Amino acid sequence: MGVPGRFFLTTPIYYVNDAPHLGTAYSTVNADALARWHRLIGDDTWFLTGTDEHGLKMARAAQEQGGSPQDWVDTMSRRYVESWAALKISNDDFIRTTEARHTSSVQQFMQAIYDNGYMHKGLYEGWYCVSCEAYYPEGDLAPGQLCPVHERPVEWLTEENWFFELSRFEQPLLEWYERHPEAIFPESRRNEALGIIRGGLQDISITRTSIDWGIPVPWDSAHVVYVWYDALINYITAIGYGADPDRFAKWWPAAHHLLGKDIIRFHCVWWPAMCLAAGIDPPAGFVVHGWLLVGGEKMSKTKLNQIDPVQLAGDIGVDALRYHLVREVALGADGDFTYEGLIARYNSDLANNLGNLLARVATVVGSKCGGSGSAPRPAGPGVRLSEVAVEVVSACRDAWARFAPNEALEATWRLVRTANAELEAIEPWKLPPGPAVDAVLGDALEALRIVALLVSPVMPSAAGELWSRIGLEGRPDEPGAAADGAGLLWGGYPAGRPVTKGAPLFPRRSSER
C-alpha cells in the first residue's frame, strides 16, 4: 500500500491530562521500531507523534489547577516530549493541536467539507463521557449508566451544533474498504470496522458551544470544533495540508496510523469518511494494536494502575524495556504486563543469549586470536550459520512488512541461539589457535553483525554498542543499512577488526525490586 519506498507512520496523539504511562509507551515504542526498520531498509520515512490538547477534559483539568489552559497544556505536553526522548523515540515531528499550523489546517479542512455540502446545523442530546470525550448511545452504556470504557457516570448534554453527515458515507466507505482489502491490520479489526459501518452510521455532532477551548469553526465562530474531529486532522496538518501542497502530496496518502483498539471507530470509520468528504484520499493503512494490561485491566488514570515507563527504563535499561514492549505481545493482541515477566525475558533472551554470545566470542577472540576478528566463511550449505542467517533475514523482512515486529525478534533469536549452539558444539576455547578457530569465530562475528542490524530498530543503543565491540565503524542504524542487497547479506564482516569484551552488555537481573 502507498508509494513503495515511502513510509509515513503516526501514533495517536496523546491526551495531555494523563502522564505518559506504559500503555502509551507501548504504542509509541512499537511505532518507533516500525519507523526505524523502514529507515533501515532505505525507505524515505516520516514518523509523527504528538499531543491532543483541546476538549472539555482539558478545559476542566486546567480549571482545577487554576491556570490558563494554554499554560497548563504547555507544561503537560512537555512531559511527553521528555518521556519519548528518554525512551529514544526517533519521531521526525511532534505535533500539538494547540499550534497555529494545526488551527489553520483544521479550518481549511472543515471549510472544504462544509463547501462540499456535508455539514448541517442541528440539536444534539446524548450521554457524554468526559474521559472519552465521546457521546454514547444508551444501548452502549455499561450497567448503571456508566461509560463502557471508564465505568464512570456519563453526563447528559444538550447542544445546538454542527453535524457532519457521516450517514452519507456508509456506501462510499464500504466501497473504499472493498478496494483496499489490506487497509486494516489485523484482519479481525477490519471486520470490526466493517461491522460498525454495516450496522448503520449516524450523523455526528462535531462542534461545541458549551466550551471555548478549541478551534473556532471557520463559518460560525460561536462554535469550536469537537476535540476528536480536530485531533484526527493532526495527521495531515503535520505534512503540510493547506500550507505546503508539495509536501502534502509527497506523504499523503502513504500514511499508516498505529492505534489502540479502543479508537477504531474514530480512525477507521470517521477519519476516512472525513477525508472523502474533504476531497482527499483516505490513508493507506491502519495498524490496530491491543492493550497492555496490568492485572487484567487497561492502564488508565482513572484506575490508578499506571506504570511510569521512564522510571522502569531507569531500572532495567531503555533498550531492555523497548525489547520487552515489542517482543512480549504481538501487535493486535492484548497482553498482561508483569515485572516478573519482564525480568524473566530479560535474563533469558538478553543476558543469557545475546549478551552471552558476545561475551564468549570476544573472550575467545581475545585468548586465541590476539583480539582481532576473522572473516566469516563464504555462505554455503556447509556453513550452518550462513544458512540460518539467510532464513532469518528473510523472515524478519516479512514480519516487519506484516506489522509483526515480535516475530522479527523471535526469528532473530533463532540466529542468536544457533550461534551459541555452534560455539558449544565446536568449543573453540579448547582448540589451538588456527584456521578451525578462525572459521567458527568469523561466522559468529558475522552473525553478531547481522543481529546488531536486525535488533537496531528495537534496541538502538545496545545495537550500537554491539557494533563497536566487534570493531565495526559507524552505526548499525544508518538509513539504508539493511536495504536490499546491502548489509544483511552474509559475508560483510571484515577480518582484522579489534574485538573488545567490555562489561556485560546485559548484566543479569534479579526479579526483586
Binding residues for ligand MSP, rule: CB under 6 A, are 12-15, 18, 23-24, 26-27, 52, 231-232, 234, 259-260, 262-263, 291-292, 298-299
Closest residue to ligand MSP: CB criterion? 260
Q: Which is nearer to ligand MSP, 98 or 374 (CB)?
A: 98
Q: Among residues 24, 5, 124, 166, which one has the least CA distance to residue 83?
A: 24
Nearest distance from residue 481's CB to ligand MSP, in Å? 30
Nearest distance from residue 233's CB to ligand MSP, in Å? 8
What lies within 8 Å, CB to CB, of 488 at 6+ separation is 393, 450, 453, 454, 482
| Contact (Cβ atoms closer than 8 angstroms) between residue 222 and residue 212 | no
Separation CA 496–CA 503 (nearest Å)? 22
Nearest distance from residue 291's CB to ligand MSP, in Å? 4
What lies within 8 Å, CB to CB, of 433 at 6+ separation is 368, 369
Q: How does DSSP classify residue 362?
A: H
Nearest distance from residue 460's CB to ligand MSP, in Å? 22
Q: Which is nearer to ligand MSP, 29 or 447 (CB)?
A: 29
Q: Which is nearer to ligand MSP, 180 or 298 (CB)?
A: 298
Residue 171's alpha-carbon distances to 176, 190, 195, 197, 381, in angstroms, are: 8, 16, 13, 9, 55
Q: Which is nearer to ligand MSP, 298 or 368 (CB)?
A: 298
Q: Parallel, antiparallel, or unpaired for β 216-217 and 204-205?
A: unpaired
In sequence order, what DSSP letters do the residues of 214-260 get, joined into one string?
SPEETTEEEEEE-HHHHHHTHHHHTTTTTT-HHHHHHHSS-EEEEEE
Nearest distance from residue 9's CB to ligand MSP, in Å? 13
Between helices 100-115 and 271-278, what is the axis angle to 10°? 70
Nearest distance from residue 259's CB to ligand MSP, in Å? 5
Nearest distance from residue 297's CB to ligand MSP, in Å? 9
Q: Which is nearer to ligand MSP, 51 or 420 (CB)?
A: 51
- How many beta carbons lie within 10 A of that of residue 70, not counting itself? 12
Q: Which is nearer to ligand MSP, 177 or 291 (CB)?
A: 291
SS3 484: coil
Q: Which is nearer to ligand MSP, 76 or 447 (CB)?
A: 76
Helix (H), strand (E) counts: the chain: 19, 17
Q: Which is nearer to ligand MSP, 309 or 464 (CB)?
A: 309
Nearest distance from residue 28's CB to ligand MSP, in Å? 8
Q: Which is nearer to ligand MSP, 50 or 376 (CB)?
A: 50
Cell numbers for 293: 494490561
In sequence order, what DSSP letters do the residues of 32-83 get, joined into one string?
HHHHHHHHHTT-EEEEEEEEE--SHHHHHHHHHHTS-HHHHHHHHHHHHHHH
CA 400 to chain centre: 12
Nearest distance from residue 292's CB to ligand MSP, in Å? 4
